[in-house]
Amino acid sequence: MTGSLVIAGLGPGTEGLIAPDVMAALEAATDIVGYGPYVERIAAREGLRLHATDNRQEIERARHALELAAAGQKVVVVSSGDPGVFAMAAAVFEALEAAPAYLDLDIRVLPGITAMLAAAARIGAPLGHDFCAINLSDNLKPFELIEHRLRLAIRADFACAFYNPRSRARPHQFARLLDVMREEAGPERLIIFARAVFRPEEDIAVVPLAEAKPEMADMRTMVILANASTRRVGRFVYAPRKAEAP
């Protein structure tokens, strides 16, 4: 097989934060495959084909990318942030597992700056100690599992970075999870709402849980719940590097 498949992360939204290896792969590509808004970030040029699909077509998108690469094309599957964090890398390997004829393809994963790291950088260092990332969408797992993992993470005093917190289809779920956070962490724990970081419409708010409202988040918002020792220093928020025994 003479084609290749690169699974690449486009970072949080500005070209300056795209890794040089990703830029090189995009420049060499014959085909770009991805969710529509991410494909739109790629400049059109002669000889480049753009394949944009709906957000819920991950496996079909991955299969199409494998087929294009097997046909000899230089394919780049794009995700925002990092492709291995709630994004397309896992979908490609899931499709590959079901189609072992493609195992000899030249496949690479190129990292990007994921949303939680971009948001953390804009506010200071809220992930400066142990933390976890939880996808709050229940499209691929039951909501009961999300709530269970959230409770355990807070009890373990992890800072928590939340992806996909609140969509139009499930606005009530984030309200429920805010109640869970208040139950487990108390009303004074800091929570960060970082929307559209590194973009012109960026908006960041840091409030205690008592003041957090569901409408402060949407699908473009990264939400970070601080751990118990997190502090504010001027306009910055950071988690101390030293943790106390429970």
For residues 161-198, b (16+ Cβ closer than 10 Å) or e, as one string?
Answer: bbbbbbbeebeebbeebbeebbebbeeebbbbbbbbbb
Query: Distance (Å, rounded) from C-alpha 129 to C-alpha 159?
Result: 8
Residue ranges of domains in the chain = 4-113, 116-238
Class of domain 4-113: alpha beta
Reported as a single tens digit per residue, the pLDDT across 52-103 is: 988 778 999 999 999 999 999 999 999 999 999 999 999 999 999 999 999 9
Considering the chain, what is the average pLDDT of its residues?
Answer: 95
Cα separation of 184 and 164, whole Å? 21
pLDDT by residue (tens digit) across 137-173? Answer: 998 899 999 999 999 999 999 999 999 999 877 778 9
Topology of domain 116-238 in CATH is: 3.30.950
CA angle 214, 220, 221 (to 5 degrees): 50
